[in-house]
Amino acid sequence: MTDGARAATRTGRPPREAETHCPYCALQCGMVLRDTDDGRIEVQPRQFPTNRGGLCQKGWTAADLLDHPDRLTTPLVRDPSGTLRPASWAAALDRIVDGLRTVQRAHGRDAVAVFGGGGLTNEKAYALGKFARVALRTRHIDYNGRWCMSSAAAAGLRAFGVDRGLPFPLTDLGRTDTLLLVGANPAETMPPLMRHLTEQRARGGRLIVVDPRLTATARQADLHLQPLPGTDLAVANALLHVALTEGLIDREYVAARTEGFDAVRRTVAEYWPAEVERLSGVPVADLEATARALGTAGSAIILTARGAEQHAKGVDTVSAYVNLALALGLPGRPHSGYGCLTGQGNGQGGREHGQKADQLPGYRKIDDPAARAHVAGVWGVDPAELPGPGVPAYQLLDSLGTPDGPRALLVFGSNPVVSAPRAARVESRLRGLDLLVVADFLRSETAELADVVLPVAQWAEEDGTMTNLEGRVLRRRALRRPPAGVRTDLDVLADLAARLDAPDPVPVGPGAGPAVPAGGPVPGDTPDRFPTDPRVVFAELRRASAGGVADYAGVTWERIESADGVFWPCPDPDGPDSPRLFADTFPTPTGRARFHAVRHRPAAEPVCADYPLHFTTGRVLAQYQSGTQTRRVDALRRAAPHGFVELHPDLAARLGVGDGDEVRVASRRGELRAPARLSPTIRPDTVFAPFHWPGAARANSVTNDALDPVSGMPEFKICAVRVERA
């Protein structure tokens, strides 16, 4: 607690400052907010392990939206003429409840769906999952985090028995000898993370980056591998091939701590470096140098991110890099291992506690009878009344309004009109709904289509917890109350549940799982239906997660505040947390990590004469996700005012395109138009566009909706296009 906050507590005045965390990416950089005498909110960085006193441009300007003129402060309801007009909360909620009841009476419970977001606090993510399954009793809930690291999550679960983005603290990056970054550009997406890479380089460590573009991160690397998009899996298998042939495998580790290596060894024997060079464009010498740098280092870390994961073979691609890490004996060793860079602020916690279609709180599987019994006991409902698994995010959106799909959708914290693949099709699905409800604090492109828009609180106006990319549970602290007319998401869910006559919970019985001390309910208590106090919601979350893979039972707000967060799993309030996993065992049935033999396969959509170029997407420094927030911040808009299409000068010359000329990028699904930006840092056979803008520059009008069969991840990172002057 800061001195200002302590003084406010002593005097009884509202605090003039709050220690909290940035509302953007999963670094969750530490910051202090100060309410100044002239009515402004000042942002200052603070020392925290992830950002070490630094902030990026987005963090510095994060408070600009709190009093933005575009801020929603009253509900909006669409009138018979099709215009969104201000309405009272009572009228807006009545419209929602009437619409939900009408749809479910006519088409069944599953005709209503819920779509969440990776920026919601743990409490809101938990409450949203509970609301869908208890108040609406629908199986249809998923969230935009499905498009973040679901492929890495699935690969981690099948290899290690657990999904935590980094199974070690971020500070280990600065202490490792060799760091391999695959499909990651933190210099633009997570700039404060680069402080750890600077430390790593200063210690004499080696940085190797795999990316089709010479990004700002790749320019700082000792070695840059520039593969054709969609060939990362082949590159990983070639690296393991080299490690095998050159005797770099940790055979003692493989024998003692893993299973399934023989099948992988036979598979990667086919991935000769010369053949992979032909396939990917990565020279044999670079493949060999990378394998040697990893295999001879005293410590090494392999990290993947969206570039490797957002493919229809994303799970297998991540598995190939996990195989490499296991074969080299990295997981569980000091300053070594495999990890994934989570993107969204609460992408980790958002999926652990109930927003995913197939999961209950604590990372429990919804089709597991024991898991259903435990969570139903905490919620005070009959396990038989809980719905079964739904479908992943894109399938859910693509089924909207179809004969067998949902007819109504509630959206919290997401903007799929911009962020979904094949976005024009998703937009059409949303327009065809009987009822679309959006809860947000700005009028996003999705909100513009809604029948009802509900104004909800922003990050600096509510308390709660977040879980960052390390699995570190943090405290988000409110500086002030929401403006008049604005409610929190927890208030909205509680009010809707009451109006929908959600069943009153029955007393918690002894079969509901272990009691949680320090504020959690105990057997015999009757829990609240839908509490609105985030501290009470978190106590319930702790109980629901107890005994699960993501066990938060020992994580209390008081414990978080006495340290720099608490790492899950943490089952005991008086016991240790888990900053590093896998030192002695893996949470699998045998205690061993599991190899999975995987083979390269082409992109879902190969190039052809009509669509001869590869298209890939990504982010830019000054914008974030669908841009709903960052496009409204003056400083960020000046830094990145519009979308663009990045082309190699040789390709541009062949097309007759000059720098700044408007170009048309067309795929089989749609097109985008934006100015050309010529750069020698991209492959001549590939074009790139950032995905932060709507309208004509919407990159996701072009992207492919082919899905990974395991994770449901769309193939955002590669499709076939043609480019011409507009």
> What pLDDT, in 10s, does the model give residues 145-201?
999 889 999 999 999 999 999 999 999 999 999 999 999 999 999 999 999 999 999
Verify that 157 and 110 share a domain, yes or no.
Answer: no
What pLDDT was estimated at residue 15?
A: 59
- The per-residue pLDDT for 528 is 64
Identify whether residues 255 and 403 lie together within a single domain: no
The count of other CB atoms within 10 Å of the CB of residue 382 is 13
Q: Tell me, yes or no, whether 596 lies in a domain.
A: no
Side chain identity at residue 89, one-letter code = W
Percent of the chain past pLDDT 70, that is, above it, reads 95
Question: Does 573 fall in a domain?
Answer: no
**Number of domain units in the chain:** 4
Measured CA to CA, the distance from residue 51 to residue 31 in angstroms comes to 9
**Is residue 598 included in any domain, yes or no?**
no
Q: Using one digit for the tens of pLDDT, what is the confidence trace for 541-576?
A: 999 999 999 999 999 999 999 899 999 999 999 999
Residues 53 and 84 in one domain: no
Query: Is 407 part of a structural domain of the chain?
Result: yes
Does 502 share its domain with 544? yes
- State the pLDDT at residue 612: 98
Same domain, 161 and 106: no
Shared-domain flag, residues 358 and 312 = no
The CATH number covering residue 58 comes to 2.20.25.90
Task: Tell me, yes or no, whether 85 lies in a domain.
Answer: yes
Q: How far is CA 534 from CA 124, 141, 464, 521, 539, in A?
A: 8, 21, 6, 15, 9
At residue 439, φ and ψ (nearest 5 deg) are: -105, 120
CA quadruple 601, 607, 613, 619: dihedral sign: negative
> Looking at the structure, do residues 470 and 532 belong to the same domain, yes or no?
yes
Whole-number Å distance between alpha carbons of 132 and 354: 9
* Three-state SS annotation for 459-516: HHHCCEEEECCCCEEEEECCCCCCCCCCECHHHHHHHHHHHCCCCCCCCCCHHHCCCC
What pLDDT is recorded for position 16?
A: 86
| Nearest Cα to Cα of residue 246 among 208, 294, 279 | 294
Q: Quote the domain boundaries for residue 691.
A: 613-725
Alpha carbon distances (Å) from 714 to 156, 340, 563: 18, 18, 38
Judgement on whether residues 173 and 309 belong to the same structural domain of the protein: yes
Domain-located, residue 551 = yes
- The angle formed by the CA atoms of residues 318, 323 and 326, to the nearest 5 degrees, is 125
Q: Report the 10 Å Cβ neighbour count for 303.
A: 23
Q: Which two tokens stand for residue 672?
A: 């985008």
CATH code of residue 332: 3.40.228.10
347 close to 306: Cβ distance less than 8 angstroms: no
Which of 325, 341, 357 is the C-terminal boundary of a domain? Answer: 341
Q: Name the maximum alpha-carbon separation found in the chain.
A: 75
Sole residue written with tokens 């005709």: 111
Q: For residue range 268-301, what is the model confidence (pLDDT) as tens digits?
A: 999 999 999 999 999 999 999 999 999 999 999 9
- How far apart, in Å, do the first and last CA atoms of the chain sit? 56
pLDDT at 507 (0 to 100): 60
Residues 201 and 316 in one domain: yes
pLDDT given at position 502: 81
Answer yes or no: is 113 within a domain: yes
Q: Would you state the pLDDT for residue 14? A: 54
Per DSSP bridges, beta strands 452-455 and 435-440 are: parallel
Residue type for 203, please? R
The domain boundary residue, chosen from 341, 371, 406: 341
Do both 360 and 327 map to the same domain?
A: no
- pLDDT under 70 in the chain at which residues? 1-15, 506-528
CATH classification of the domain holding 109: 3.40.50.740
- How far apart (Å, rounded) are the C-alpha atoms in residues 193 and 9? 34
Contacts 24+ apart (CB under 8 A), 634-638: 634/64, 635/57, 635/61, 635/64, 636/57, 636/58, 636/61
Q: Residue 301: which of 265, 351, 337 has the closest Cα?
A: 337
- Spatial CB neighbours of 680, under 8 Å, sequence gap ≥ 6: 214, 648, 649
196 and 176 co-located in one domain: yes
Could you tell me the CATH number of the domain that includes residue 660?
A: 2.40.40.20
Q: Are residues 240 and 323 in the same domain?
A: yes
Residue 363 in any domain: the answer is yes
